[in-house]
Structure 1
């Protein structure tokens, strides 16, 4: 179960848009990450590489935790809003719930729940 201080440090890292660094610092080596009902991806290094591959495509990113954060033992639910402005001029605005299982001070399993239609980049509204 994460301490409140650890959870706040994790949220702060994501809100700083230090996504790859947050994965390095707060996930177990064999962490499992899953998007909706897709097959899970395994391993912290895989997750870090995925974040680092995505970040250069973005001109800007905004990451916001919508409180409250729900904690029950080793289970945590965080509501996130992400806004990406891509270098090709499109935008992606996503709202998701992250359901996490922590082992001590690190995330061992995480499933993201969101409407997949949000992932499609769109032209910005005038």
Structure 2
């Protein structure tokens, strides 16, 4: 690996935790990256992945928590455990305990899969 995955992953996670998720995406994700939620159909290419992120953040009214609980690196793979808590503009609230599994190549994330059980509380 041309760059230390542990160092890159630590920087990526720090940016996400500090509210710079889109900046981290632009810096660390490959042009041909693939992202997947659980076992849903993957999003392919940086443009499609970017648009999904933009659409998500545009629906958020309030971001209550984004806490990194732990992370690990093995070779070209990194794993991060997160807790996210957001309220959407429609009034529903999502509280997720999530695992992110990333595969790296040439200093960039080429594949990321999120594992979580959706927990959305409907608006009153």
1:60-79 deviations in Å (ceiling 9; x for gaps): 22211111x11100011111
RMSD of aligned Cα (Å):
1.8
1:64-105 deviations in Å (ceiling 9; x for gaps): 1111x1110001111111111122332110111111111132
Equivalent residue for 1:21, pick from 16, 20, 23: 23
Give the Cα separation in 2 of the matches to 1:87 and 1:40. Answer: 26
Segments of 5+ residues of structure 1 without an aligned counterpart are: none
Return the offset for 1:121.
3.9
Are the aligned partners of 1:23 and 1:47 in contact in 2 as well (CA < 8 Å)? no
Moved over 6 A (4+): none
Give the Cα separation in 2 of the matches to 1:122 and 1:66. Answer: 26
- Aligned position for 2:62: 60
Segments of 5+ residues of structure 2 without an aligned counterpart are: none
Return the offset for 1:16.
1.9
